[in-house]
């Protein structure tokens, strides 16, 4: 069986492969910014609930300003809601008309430009299918309510103007039966107990403007774990049975907020920060002053090494600035939320885990985008063709945009880059923004016109693809480096202008030269006193790129041992070309056992698996017990791919001794590959074991199917 591993992923990065447009995204309709003739100032929601019947009743008191000289009617978004009455500020009924997607309110007179208008909408709903969720009690969660208003689903639980460029303040007054608690946006004004019916009323006030898709409510018999960062309240709303694990999982939250406060030069902008677990969220969804997380965020300590949500937690915290404080003006501008959120979680990883973990995380983001570019489509990051906003929340928006920000930081340098984003946040706080605002912020902060950069990487599709080669001239003592851009220009991909660092290492040390690539084909010359041991293109790994760079075996072996993390991993994948050479196998074995970083050990292991596996069985068994669970998992996979039943007892031993769920799962799959049906009982017992995301059950079930294939 071919190993699906980082070797393959790295080869995708390193090899220039024609881009395939499996989806014609240009057939999608063009979207433009929505027009509106009013500016909502405030929503005051009053809600009551019946969790048993899955119903709720609401009132929304709307305060808005007219943007028209003769404002006669107001069109609001409303889905799955039944409006029963609309009253003006004097409680006089107003005429209204409701369709399946909107509510039109007719005023008794025309209102002038900037005039304040107040009216109240009364409505009810039963078990909406989108945006607002009643969840039944299960062994995993209590009976509860949760919302996910992203991207335009707030309209499923209150009538509103549901578009991100209109920012509002809000209040939510919610009455529920004890022992339920209510979480919402902003500051908790009061909790009032109603002794006559054993209910309790929570009053929340979001007193700084935000967009409707950032509104939320969660209702359950939560335990609230209190934390803080100075005077900032930080709370974790979890199910009672999850309290112990939640304390461990969320403990870095104040530390993360403090990191972003300093990084952005803008103190956390909201009244508090909450995180809440729900059964209806797959990953994380930001809301102003609160994050909604899937309940899989809570797991036992054993799962930390394999299922950590730390990056997700950091990403969602970053949204309190990038998405909540400043918000994309239209859904074409998704990168201003998500690229910054994704780049922020990389910056946190680098800060907390170190340079190599950060570099590996950024490589993962590059590869994630490249897979989408090859398997689905390429598009500009700012893109106005979509049928629904969610289509723009893809790998171009998240990882590609993060990598583009990394390149912008490289071009501007650190201090000007971070000065720019700090200026941008302060200038546009509590406002909708677009890419032009960011381009202006660069000019205002640095004096540099970077429009060319945004035109290439934000407004055009694709990425550079390089063919690189070099020659060493002994007579002239020069390195001649040839760089060709070979991307498919017919797809609208430009010829890129971008700086790159060339690193040249000799026995006397390393010199780094920055050059600018501007043409399809370039030739660069460097004076070097002796033949290089290694020539490195894009030292520092700043560029989002694909490339081919044919090198001789001696240079690759040197690179495998002496380069940075990314260069070592690349060299390991390239050395597969020389798999008949015993020296290559020897050096790969050395890296597997002695490299300081786990991803290099794993890459070397994956490369060695392309050689003769039988010659490396003892090493594989040894690596199955090494300190990093990801490397152990890969070794178990490679050993399992031999399909040799003599390793059955070894896989069972590893399963029983492993402290990693994922490595245990790989041991089970390897048992299935061995074809020994005497292990059916063992696998059935394993399938009954609890594990995060049912990883053990799924692996055991897969192994059982493998064993039964020939029956």
Task: Give the separation between CA 219 and CA 242, rounded to whole angstroms.
Answer: 16
Task: Give the separation between CA 670 and CA 624, rounded to whole angstroms.
Answer: 12
pLDDT tens by residue, 202-228: 999 999 999 999 999 999 999 999 999
- Beta strands at 55-66 and 38-50: parallel, antiparallel or unpaired: antiparallel
Q: Which two tokens stand for residue 408?
A: 């912008």
Q: How far is CA 205 from CA 58, 184, 245, 249, 503, in A?
A: 17, 8, 30, 28, 56
- Count helices and strands (H / E) in the chain: 21, 28
pLDDT for 22 equals: 76
Q: Judge whether 591 and 605 are in contact, CB under 8 Å.
A: no
Q: Judge whether 73 and 104 are in contact, CB under 8 Å.
A: yes
**CB hemisphere CA count around 315 (13 angstroms):** 21
- Kindly report the backbone phi and psi dihedral angles of residue 640, in degrees, each rounded to the nearest multiple of 5, phi listed first: -65, -30
Instruction: Please state the pTM of the whole predicted model.
Output: 0.95
pLDDT for 431 equals: 98
Q: Judge whether 27 and 662 are in contact, CB under 8 Å.
A: no
> Which of 670-699 are b and which e, b meaning 16 or more Cβ less than 10 Å from the residue's Cβ?
bbbbbebeebeebbeebbeeebbeebbbeb
Q: Judge whether 236 and 250 are in contact, CB under 8 Å.
A: yes
Beta bridge partners of 563: none
Question: Which residues lie below 8 Å from residue 523, measured CB to CB, with a gap of 6+?
Answer: 480, 481, 482, 483
Question: Which residues lie below 8 Å from residue 626, measured CB to CB, with a gap of 6+?
Answer: 601, 632, 635
Determine the length of the chain: 711
Spacing of C-alpha 689 from chain mean position: 30
- ω into 100 cis (within 30 of 0): no
**CB hemisphere CA count around 103 (13 angstroms):** 28
Q: Which two tokens stand for residue 91?
A: 């409680």
Q: How far is CA 480 from CA 308, 474, 504, 518, 571, in A?
A: 46, 11, 12, 17, 21
| DSSP notation for 449-466 | --HHHHHHHTSS----EE
Beta bridge partners of 227: 234
pLDDT for 687 equals: 97
CB atoms within 10 A of CB 547: 19
DSSP one-letter code for 493: P
**CB hemisphere CA count around 203 (13 angstroms):** 6
Task: Give the separation between CA 201 and CA 204, rounded to whole angstroms.
Answer: 10
| Percent of the chain surpassing pLDDT 90 | 95
pLDDT for 614 equals: 87
Q: Which two tokens stand for residue 160?
A: 């509103």
Task: Give the separation between CA 213 and CA 135, rounded to whole angstroms.
Answer: 21
pLDDT for 20 equals: 55
- ω into 151 cis (within 30 of 0): yes
Q: Which two tokens stand for residue 564?
A: 């940075």
Task: Give the separation between CA 310 and CA 345, rounded to whole angstroms.
Answer: 9
What is the rounded end-to-end Cα distance, in angstroms, of the chain? 21
Beta bridge partners of 120: 61, 87
Give the E-state strand segments of 370-474 in sequence order.
431-433, 465-473
**Domains, the chain, with CATH or none:** 1-19+462-596 (2.60.40.1840), 40-221 (2.60.40.1730), 222-299 (3.30.2010.30), 330-457 (1.10.390.10), 612-711 (1.25.10.10)
SS3 label, residue 426:
helix
- Beta strands at 82-88 and 116-126: parallel, antiparallel or unpaired: antiparallel
Closest by CA to 366, choosing from 12, 4, 8, is 12
pLDDT for 18 equals: 57
Kindly give the parts of the chain with pLDDT less than 50.
1-14
Give the E-state strand segments of 51-180 in sequence order.
55-66, 71-77, 82-88, 95-98, 102-111, 116-126, 132-135, 144-147, 168-177
Q: Judge whether 118 and 71 are in contact, CB under 8 Å.
A: no
């Amino acid at each position: 069986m071919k190993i699906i591993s980082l070797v393959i992923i790295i080869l995708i990065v390193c090899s220039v492969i024609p881009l395939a447009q499996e989806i014609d995204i240009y057939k999608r309709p063009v979207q433009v910014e929505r027009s509106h003739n009013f500016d909502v100032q405030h929503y005051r929601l009053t809600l009551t609930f019946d969790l048993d019947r899955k119903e709720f009743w609401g009132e929304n008191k709307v305060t808005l300003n007219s943007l028209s000289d003769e404002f006669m009617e107001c069109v609001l978004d409303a889905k799955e809601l039944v409006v029963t009455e609309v009253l003006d500020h004097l409680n006089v009924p107003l005429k209204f008309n409701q369709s399946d997607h909107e509510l039109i309110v007719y005023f008794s007179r025309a209102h002038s430009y900037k005039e304040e208008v107040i009216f109240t909408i009364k409505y009810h709903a039963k078990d909406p299918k989108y945006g607002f969720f009643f969840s039944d009690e299960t062994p995993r969660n209590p009976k509860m309510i949760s919302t996910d208003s992203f991207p335009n689903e707030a309209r499923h639980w209150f009538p509103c103007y549901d578009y991100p460029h209109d920012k509002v303040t809000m209040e939510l007054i919610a009455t529920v039966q004890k022992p339920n608690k209510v979480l919402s946006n902003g500051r908790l004004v009061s909790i009032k107990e109603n002794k006559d019916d054993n209910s309790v009323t929570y009053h929340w006030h979001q007193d700084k403007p935000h967009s409707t898709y950032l509104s939320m409510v969660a209702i359950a018999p939560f335990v609230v774990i209190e934390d803080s960062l100075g005077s900032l309240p930080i709370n974790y709303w979890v199910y009672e049975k999850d309290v112990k694990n939640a304390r461990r999982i969320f403990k870095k939250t104040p530390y993360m907020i403090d990191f972003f406060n300093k990084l952005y030069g803008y103190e956390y902008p909201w009244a508090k920060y909450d995180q809440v677990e729900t059964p209806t969220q797959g990953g994380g969804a930001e809301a102003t002053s609160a994050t909604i997380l899937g309940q899989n965020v809570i797991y036992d300590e054993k799962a930390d090494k394999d299922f950590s949500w730390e990056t997700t937690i950091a990403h969602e915290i970053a949204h309190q600035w990038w998405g909540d404080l400043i918000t994309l003006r239209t859904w074409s501008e998704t990168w201003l939320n998500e690229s910054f959120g994704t780049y922020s979680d990389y910056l946190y990883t680098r800060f907390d885990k170190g340079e190599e973990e950060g570099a590996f995380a950024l490589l993962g983001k590059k590869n994630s985008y490249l897979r989408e570019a090859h398997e689905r489509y390429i598009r500009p990051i700012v893109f106005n063709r979509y049928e629904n906003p969610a289509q723009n929340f893809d790998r171009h928006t998240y990882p590609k945009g993060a990598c583009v920000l990394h390149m912008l930081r490289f071009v501007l340098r650190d201090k000007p880059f971070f000065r720019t984003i700090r200026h941008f946040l302060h200038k546009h706080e509590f406002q909708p923004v677009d890419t032009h605002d960011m381009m202006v912020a660069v000019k205002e902060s640095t004096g540099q016109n970077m429009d060319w950069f945004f035109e290439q990487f934000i407004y055009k599709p694709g990425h550079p693809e390089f063919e690189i080669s070099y020659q060493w001239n002994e007579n002239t003592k020069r390195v001649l480096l040839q760089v060709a851009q070979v991307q498919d220009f017919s797809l609208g991909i430009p010829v890129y202008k971008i700086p790159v660092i060339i690193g040249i290492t000799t026995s006397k040390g390393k010199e780094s030269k920055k050059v600018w690539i501007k043409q399809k084909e370039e030739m660069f010359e460097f004076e070097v006193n002796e033949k290089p041991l290694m020539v490195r293109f894009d030292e520092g790994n700043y560029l989002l790129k694909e490339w081919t760079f044919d090198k001789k075996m001696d240079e690759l072996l040197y690179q495998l041992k002496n380069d940075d993390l990314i260069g070592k991993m690349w060299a390991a994948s390239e050395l597969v070309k020389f798999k008949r050479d015993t020296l290559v196998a020897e050096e790969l074995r050395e890296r597997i056992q002695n490299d300081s970083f786990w991803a290099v050990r794993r890459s070397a292991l994956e490369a060695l698996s392309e050689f003769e596996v039988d010659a490396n069985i003892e090493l594989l068994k040894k690596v199955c017990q090494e300190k990093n669970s990801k490397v152990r998992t890969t070794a178990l996979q490679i050993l399992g791919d031999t399909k040799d039943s003599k390793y059955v007892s070894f896989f069972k031993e590893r399963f029983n001794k492993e402290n990693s769920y994922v490595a245990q799962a790989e041991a089970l799959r390897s048992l299935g590959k061995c074809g020994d049906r005497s292990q059916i009982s063992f696998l059935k017992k394993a399938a009954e074991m609890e594990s995060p995301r049912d990883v053990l059950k799924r692996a055991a079930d897969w192994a059982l199917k493998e064993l039964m294939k020939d029956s």
